[in-house]
Amino acid sequence: MSTVILLSLALMCLALCLSFVRLFKGPSLPDRVVALELFSSILVGTIGLIAIATDVASLLDVAIVMALMAFMAAIGFARFLERGGARDD
């Protein structure tokens, strides 16, 4: 693997760890929803990088499915919060 891909993977792993911390610390439910969306977006990017590094095209299908599932989850959370769901702020 090239150094650019390794550096990118290392930075994405760091970003995943930081967004995971924000996911657990909160402080409110909307903050956690945004952190979960960020976590899934970084994960899709990481899968894309791995697909480029290993030259496996089927991993791009996995990344597309992950992105669609994250989008649907974000819509579901937004509808839940809009209808007055559980809030802790």
Gap between the Cα atoms of 66 and 59, Å rounded: 11
Position 89 in a domain: no
The whole domain housing 60 covers 2-82
Summarize pLDDT for 12-32 with one digit per residue, the tens. 999 999 999 998 888 888 888
Gap between the Cα atoms of 11 and 31, Å rounded: 22
Is pLDDT of 88 > 70? no
Summarize pLDDT for 27-55 with one digit per residue, the tens. 888 888 889 899 999 999 999 999 999 99
Domains held by the chain: number = 1
Position 87 in a domain: no
Gap between the Cα atoms of 85 and 30, Å rounded: 11
DSSP string, 7-71: HHHHHHHHHHHHHHHHHHH-SSHHHHHHHHHHHHHHHHHHHHHHHHHHT-THHHHHHHHHHHHHH
Position 57 in a domain: yes
Position 49 in a domain: yes
Position 88 in a domain: no
Position 37 in a domain: yes
* Full-model pTM: 0.81
Position 24 in a domain: yes
